[in-house]
């Protein structure tokens, strides 16, 4: 960062010392994880720039938007409909929680056996190191897993305004009705927050912007089918992570530009790994910035990750919303049709998830799947068993890794991943 953002961070109430400590770890970690990868596409420079300014320029943009009268909405879950936020001229930012921070302080509020993602969210808030949280006019929580649901009851104390969206646990008619009612309640809340009225035209525009962003991610996913892989799994994950922060229109055009470059690479059979390198699909819990531990280990072991069945990945970006409806009612129906198909493990049953993993594995021509579960995440850790059994039955070698954000188990995971990659090499 070339500009001195300290006055801005101070104005946001950040603890500058703790924030310096966080950036002091993040900068070198990013450098060693991403910028030293061999044969990176030139288009990744844009994403390097975004990450270098993730607490700088992007925050300044959010503050400029606020000064112009727009509201900033922070969210932790892929169920929060960005289309409605945009339709009310507000900005949605994903809140990351991909690292643990201030853990002793966090454990005064949460039991030790809480997943790292929830602990991360608490840590960033308690330590006052997240400018996105400080810049948000409202933070949207959601009743998904028990940890989040109960955690938000406490988290409410740490943010100026918390709005909790209820979500169904089944994809039944009643579940659909609940989601529809909750999306409407959310729209009403945002109308009050922004002082604007939701119209069908504005919602259609919001849907178009988000559809364009998801479409370009579909294009990226289809380019990752090529062998040799034109882009690394780490960079694929990075783009999926930045999806949540960047201005949506600028993000779409930046991913589109890198897709043009990847298309040429595919034509020239140029890749980041040699042709025939074991191809892996990651499946499971979301990996938020800066959670790059497992993908780094996998790619250092000589495999290439070609897709993510995750909310920071294709679970979050699959399917577009039908924008042909003419009324708000039609468009709300279309939104619910789309969001209800997200196969998060909080749903019971959740049979479509394993079908999605299988279809991704087929279309991306993967050799194996790594199921990633965060310790103490009951929904995904419990679902891991049936998913693994089904994939193995279909002839897809599967490795289950349960871990947290700590570094203590890196050696052990390396050994298991290397053995798995050897198995894939046959």
Q: Which stretch binds ligand BJ8 (CB under 6 A): 114-122, 128-136, 157-165, 267-275?
A: 114-122
Residue from 51, 54, 115, 358 in contact with ligand BJ8 (CB under 6 A): 115
Cα separation, 136 vs 139, whole angstroms: 6
Shortest separation between residue 112's beta carbon and ligand BJ8, angstroms: 14
Among 22-30, 76-84, 191-199, 227-235, which window interacts with ligand BJ8 (CB under 6 A)?
76-84
On the question of a cis peptide bond just before residue 349, with omega within 30 degrees of 0, the verdict is: yes
Binder among 117, 220, 229, 242 for ligand BJ8 (CB under 6 A): 117
State the number of binding residues for ligand BJ8 (CB under 6 A): 20
Per-residue binding string, ligand BJ8, 276-295, x by CB under 6 A, is ---------xx---------
Whether omega for the bond prior to residue 413 falls within 30 degrees of 0, making it cis, is: no
Based on the shown chain and the rule CB under 6 A, indicate whether residue 145 belongs to the binding site for ligand BJ8. yes
Contact assessment for residue 80 and residue 183, using Cβ atoms and an 8 Å cutoff: no
Residue-wise DSSP of 116-158: HHHHHHHHHHHTT--HHHHH-SEEEEEE-SHHHHHHHHHHGGG
Candidates 65-73, 105-113, 124-132, 342-350 — which segment interacts with ligand BJ8 by CB under 6 A? Answer: 342-350
In the complex, minimum distance from the CB of residue 309 to ligand BJ8, in angstroms, rounded to a whole number: 11
Q: Which is nearer to ligand BJ8, 40 or 214 (CB)?
A: 214
CA-CA distances (angstroms) from residue 335 to 88, 240, 319, 400, 401? 15, 21, 11, 33, 34
148 counts as binding ligand BJ8 under rule CB under 6 A: yes
Terminal CA-CA length for the chain: 46
Determine the Cα–Cα distance for residues 347 and 343; give it in Å rounded to an integer: 7
Q: Between 246 and 314, whose beta carbon lies closer to ligand BJ8? A: 314
Quick one: tokens of 69?
Answer: 């009268």
Near ligand BJ8 by CB under 6 A, which window of 40-48, 71-79, 261-269, 402-410? 71-79
The answer to whether 43 contacts ligand BJ8 (rule: CB under 6 A) is no
Cα dist. 155→158, 160, 352, 400 in Å?
5, 10, 32, 31
Residue 282's closest CA among 170, 393, 360?
360
Integer Cα distance of 311 and 322 in angstroms? 21
Question: With binding defined as CB under 6 A, does residue 311 bind ligand BJ8?
Answer: yes
Name, in order, each residue with C-beta under 8 angstroms of 101's C-beta and a sequence gap of 6 or more.
18, 22, 120, 123, 124, 127, 129
- Lookup result for tokens 């679970």: 315
Chain centre to alpha carbon of residue 366: 22
Query: Contact between 241 and ligand BJ8 (CB under 6 A)?
Result: no
SS3 label, residue 232: coil
Interaction residues for ligand BJ8, span 354-393 (CB under 6 A): 374, 377, 379-380
Find the shortest distance in angstroms from Cβ 186 to ligand BJ8.
Answer: 15
Options 74-82, 133-141, 168-176, 394-402: segment touching ligand BJ8 (CB under 6 A): 74-82
- Cβ 381 to ligand BJ8, closest distance in Å? 8
Tell whether residue 77 is a contact of ligand BJ8 (CB under 6 A): yes
The residue range among 145-153, 183-191, 207-215, 271-279 that interacts with ligand BJ8, by the rule CB under 6 A, is 145-153
Kindly state whether residue 118 participates in binding ligand BJ8, applying the rule CB under 6 A. Answer: yes
Contacts with ligand BJ8 by CB under 6 A lie at 77-79, 115, 117-118, 144-145, 147-148, 285-286, 311, 342, 344, 346, 374, 377, 379-380
């Amino acid at each position: 960062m070339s500009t001195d953002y300290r006055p801005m961070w101070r104005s946001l109430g950040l603890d500058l010392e703790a924030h310096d400590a966080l950036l002091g770890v993040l900068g070198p970690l990013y450098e060693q994880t991403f910028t030293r990868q061999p044969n990176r596409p030139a288009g990744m420079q844009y994403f390097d720039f975004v990450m270098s300014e993730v607490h700088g320029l992007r925050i300044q943009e959010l503050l400029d938007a606020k000064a112009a009268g727009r509201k900033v909405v922070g969210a932790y879950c892929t169920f929060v409909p960005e289309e409605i936020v945009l339709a009310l001229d507000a900005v949605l930012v994903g809140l990351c929680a991909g690292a643990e921070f201030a853990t002793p302080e966090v454990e005064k509020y949460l039991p030790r056996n809480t997943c790292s993602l929830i602990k991360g969210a608490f840590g960033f808030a308690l330590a006052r190191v997240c400018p996105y949280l400080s810049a948000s006019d409202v933070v949207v929580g959601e009743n998904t897993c028990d940890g989040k649901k109960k955690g938000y009851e406490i988290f409410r104390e740490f943010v100026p305004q918390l709005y909790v969206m209820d979500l169904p646990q089944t994809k039944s008619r009643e579940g659909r009705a609940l989601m529809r009612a909750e999306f409407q309640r959310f729209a009403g809340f945002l109308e009050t927050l922004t002082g604007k009225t939701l119209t069908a035209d504005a919602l259609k525009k919001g849907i178009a912007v988000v559809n364009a962003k998801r479409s370009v991610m579909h294009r990226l996913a289809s380019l990752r089918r090529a062998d040799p892989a034109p882009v690394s799994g780490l960079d694929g994950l990075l783009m999926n992570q930045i999806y949540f922060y960047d201005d949506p229109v600028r993000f779409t055009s930046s991913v589109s530009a890198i897709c043009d470059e990847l298309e040429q690479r595919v034509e020239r059979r140029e890749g980041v790994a040699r042709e025939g390198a074991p191809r892996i699909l990651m499946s499971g819990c979301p990996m938020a910035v800066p959670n790059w531990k497992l993908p780094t280990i996998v790619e250092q072991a000589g495999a290439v990750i070609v897709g993510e069945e995750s909310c920071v990945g294709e679970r979050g970006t699959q399917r577009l919303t039908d924008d042909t409806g003419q009324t708000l009612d039609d468009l709300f129906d279309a939104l619910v049709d789309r969001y209800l198909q997200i196969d998060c493990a909080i749903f019971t049953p959740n049979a479509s998830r394993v079908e999605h993993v299988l279809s991704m594995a087929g279309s991306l021509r993967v050799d194996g799947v790594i199921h990633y579960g965060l310790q103490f995440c009951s929904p995904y850790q419990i679902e891991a068993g049936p998913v693994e059994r089904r994939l193995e039955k279909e002839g897809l070698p599967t490795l289950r890794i349960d871990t947290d954000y700590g570094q203590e188990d890196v050696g052990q995971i390396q050994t298991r991943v290397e053995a798995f990659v050897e198995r894939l090499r046959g």
